[in-house]
Structure 1
Amino acid sequence: MLVLILALSVVLAACAGEPKTKTTTTGKSEGNDSEPGKEKVVLDFWTFWGSETRKPIIEKIIEDFNSSQDEIEVKHTYLPWGDIWTKALAAGAAGNPPDVIINDINTVAQRADKKQNTNLSEYINKEQGFEERFYPHLWSPMLHDGDAYALPFNTDTYMLFWNKEVFKEAGLDPEQPPKTWAELEEFARKIDKKNGNKYERIGFLPRHGAGHNLWMLNADGKSYWDYDANKPTINQPTDVETLEWIKDYESHYGQKVINSFTAEFGSETANPFIAGKIGMFINPGTFYTQIRDYGDGMEFGIAPMPEREAGSGNTTWGGGFVAEIPYGAKNPEASWEFLKYLTGPEAQEYWAVKNFDNVANIEGAEAAAQSSELTEEGRATYDATVDNLKNTVLTPNPIEAPDYTTLIDPEVEKALLGDQSPKDALDKAQKAVEKLIESNK
């Protein structure tokens, strides 16, 4: 019996010396390698970044955060674009949401209104001048009833690209892009190249690379929604004039020609701009990576969108993504610490340089524009996109009518096809959205 007691004592002593285990947010138990007696908080971070390019970048940021301290461990969960937010809602309803998630920048207030994300004001208020770390136009969509419910992560900005070699061939100064819509049209006509009745090259097409709504925004700096008055402003005179301009512009070529060019639009070498089949192109600044990788030394320029007329402004649009703490997350304090790192200058600069992606943190963005990891051409292009953020606005989905643009697009398409006038199209869209708002009440 004495031998048995001694043996049990040895076993118990050995067990007492083993590291304690902990239950993670995913229900798994792990050993504790932080300071003695203190368990790490394990966070589950959901993203849709699973590509060969982006997955290693986000996982390196996570690794750097995990190495920077010994209290929190972040684990990455990749879910496909079509699944991530549906599964997040289901997980939240089941009481087991992810700890941090990447989400759409234009729908933060909608999720806040439905109590799907966490109010961050108590954490932000402890950080002096916190919101000043981000571009102002990216901070305002974070707010719902005056409080922030997310932190901006990345964004983009639509700009004009032009082919300098094509400009030279057309007798245009390759260093001087068009400044106004009138110049844009003038330059395009000079770049147009026909062989008989067939266009071998087109100067520019307004809706390729950009949609009609971008031109409405560019025209007077206003979108289809007045955010101050909180109401739709779809059929304003400037919008009608803009739609008439697009219609007249496209009628010069005809729908058959435009459709044939549309069929050729794709990615990489299939892009007509890279192939030299169109001289000017509106796209986010990140389009540079396609030129870099597939343009075979193409000479190009990048500039703000032309103004409707001199002095009307170079307003353009951007989208992007945010980092959020889903409502009901088990460790919001730890999640906040990771959010701060994820949107801080070090992580933001790394993401920007490796992805050639515009980021929300001002210090991180400006550092990326000077990074020695980019080529001279890359630095100049990235710097142009950073500078263009001052012209960029976002169009968050209004809570009163989150899908209101789906009522506008069909009417606009009918106008461009000649089935109704631009004014009738926008008048109908205005009434349809007003009816939707009323029904949503």
Structure 2
Amino acid sequence: MKKGFLGFLCILLVMGVLAGCNEEKSSADTKSKDGKVVLNFWTFWGSETRRPIIEKIVKDFNDSQDRIEVNHTFLPWGDIWTKNLAAVAAGNPADVIVNDINSVALRAENNQAEDLSKYLDDSFKENFYPHLWKTVEYNGKPYAVPFNTDTRLLFYNKKAFREAGLDPNKPPQTWAELEEYAKKLDIKSGNKYDRFGFYPLWGSVGPSAWMASADGGKGFIDDGDLAINTPKKVEALEWLLGWQERYGEKNVQAFKAEFGSEQANPFISGKVAMIIDVGTFYTQIRDYGKDMEFGVAKIPAYDENAGHWADGGGFVVEVPKGSKHPKEAVEFIKYLTGKEAQKYWGEKNYDNVANIEGAEAVSESLDGQAKEVYEMTVKNLEETNLYPVPAEYPDYQNRINPHIDKVFTGKLTPEEALKKAEADVKKIKK
């Protein structure tokens, strides 16, 4: 037992030495040879497309002034946030990091991100879409700055519309019209479908989005109150199940198994006439859907008296707790989220950016259908909801999803599933 205890002490000593080395390295790296403050900037943008873009923005910032030097480090998706938490715990984090927009409050609650209110004046938030800025505040203070976002649209095949006797300039506006159009667009050979008019769970959309749409845009947690087992969400889940029952579960699964990316995408290949996806889906159609005639529209509303709703996500830039240079880090963040850098990022990636003037500048720089789709995404941001994870209900989505999955395998009714889901989420409130 004494031997084990001594071994444990040795491990602690080694960890202490390593930590000291790391801290010494970090301190040594905070100044460059010419006296500039050195900032470490972590992103997961390492692709051939995105890495040159973010590194050009970093270079432009470094060349714009002579006090701060930013070093960009790429870390793979998934690894970056695990390493960030470990670095924060060790007291040796990066100075700026790109992070998930919907979990800012959790990091603020857990003291993993710096309060930026002392570096940003009250007017700064006016540069950004209000629904995005709302996600970065915790107890009335900002702990990050929005960088980019997304929204979902209905993409529809105009040629298929004409073939089915539908007006290609009049996409469906309600759920009822969506069903009506889908039936006209279906092509069936015996018991097999050669083309699906529409299936609500294909593309970039899930059951939660449809349930929120039916419930007036209300997510599973609304202003701190649970809104999981509501009549409208039960109805929406029944509606989704109805699509599976009409097409047949085997047909749905068999068809889905054929899906791939690029040319094999079911919409681009003509196997699905309508699909919901993020605005950047346009680039796949542009690159792989040669001469494809398509249109974009808002996601159909629950009924003629309801609003059109879409859900969104995105990323923020924040200062991890313990950064040695938070003031300089925020100066770099202001540049990253300013009009010019946002315009460059948006143009090169065909991405929705968080800065309002930046987004408008991207729209003005485009033409043709690229402009049409981008302008629709910008307009759609006004009706796009984000659903930040509340600090009192961390990981709530993972409590809900398994119950919803059981609806589509026939193990639970929609009402049973949402009742169980709400009961499970209640158990995790802090």
Relative to the length of structure 2, the TM-score reads 0.92
CA distance in 1, matches of 2:28, 2:372: 44
Residue 366 of structure 1 is aligned with which of 344, 360, 369?
Answer: 360
Counterparts of 1:298-337 in structure 2 under 5 Å?
298-337=292-331
Per the alignment, residue 354 of structure 1 pairs with 348
Per-residue deviation, 1:194 = 1.1
Task: Tell me the SS of whatever aligns to 2:244.
Answer: helix
Q: State yes or no: 1:248 paired with 2:242.
A: yes
Structure 2 alignment gaps of length 5 or more: 1-24
- Residue 142 of structure 1 corresponds to 136
Deviations along 1:46-86, one digit per CA (max 9) or x if unpaired, are 00000000000000111111111111111100000121111
Deviation of 1:416 after TM superposition, in Å, equals 2.3
1:102 to 74, 98, 101: 98
User: In the aligned structure 1, how far is the partner of 2:31 from the partner of 2:407?
Assistant: 61
Q: Which residue of 2 aligns with 1:49?
A: 45
2:214 and 2:232 in contact (8 A); partners too: yes
CA distance 1:222–1:26, change in 2 (3 Å): farther
Residues 180-329 of structure 1 mapped to structure 2, 5 A cutoff: 180-209=174-203, 210-228=205-223, 230-329=224-323
Residue-by-residue CA offset, 1:350-397 (whole Å, 9 max, x unaligned): 1001000101000000110110xx341111110110000001010001
Contact 1:42 1:73 in 2 (8 A): yes
| Residue 427 (structure 1) shift | 0.8
User: What does residue 152 of structure 1 align with?
Assistant: 146
Which structure would you say has the larger Rg? Answer: 1
Q: State which of 146, 163, 168 in structure 2 corresponds to 1:169.
A: 163
Q: What's 2:81 paired with? A: 85
Q: Is the 8 A contact 1:26 1:44 kept in 2?
A: no
Q: Flag as ranges the 4+ runs of structure 1 deviating above 6 A.
A: none
| Aligned counterparts of 1:26 and 1:144: Cα–Cα separation in 2 | 33
- For residues 104 and 335 of structure 1, the distance between their equivalents in structure 2, rounded to whole angstroms, comes to 18
Give, in angstroms, the shift of residue 31 of structure 1: 2.8
Partner of 2:33: 31
Distance in 2 separating the partners of 1:431 and 1:213: 17
- The letter of the residue matching 1:298 is M
Q: For the residues of structure 2 that align with 1:109 and 1:279, how far apart are their CA atoms?
A: 39
Q: Say whether 1:68 aligns with 2:64.
A: yes
Question: In the alignment, which of 113, 119, 138 is matched to residue 117 of structure 1?
Answer: 113
CA contact (8 A) 1:25 1:42 kept: no
CA contact (8 A) 1:25 1:43 kept: no
1:9 counterpart residue number: none
- Number of residue pairs the alignment of both structures matches: 405
- Tell me, what secondary structure is at the counterpart of 2:118? helix
- Name the CA distance, whole Å, in 2 between partners of 1:389 and 1:30: 42
Equivalent pair of 1:66/1:74 in contact (CA under 8 Å): yes
Shift of 1:30: 4.1
Per-residue CA deviations over 1:172-221 (Å, capped at 9, x if unaligned) read: 11111100000000000000001222110000001111110110111133
**CA separation in 1, counterparts of 2:417 and 2:77?**
33
CA drift at 1:24: 7.2
Contact 1:325/1:335, CA 8 A, preserved across alignment: yes
RMSD of Structure 2 on Structure 1 (CA): 1.4
Consecutive unaligned residues of structure 1, counting only runs of 5 or more, are: 1-22, 33-38
Q: Distance in 2 between matches of 1:333 and 1:30?
A: 17
| 1:131 pairs with 2:125 | yes
8 A contact 1:220–1:312 mirrored in 2: no
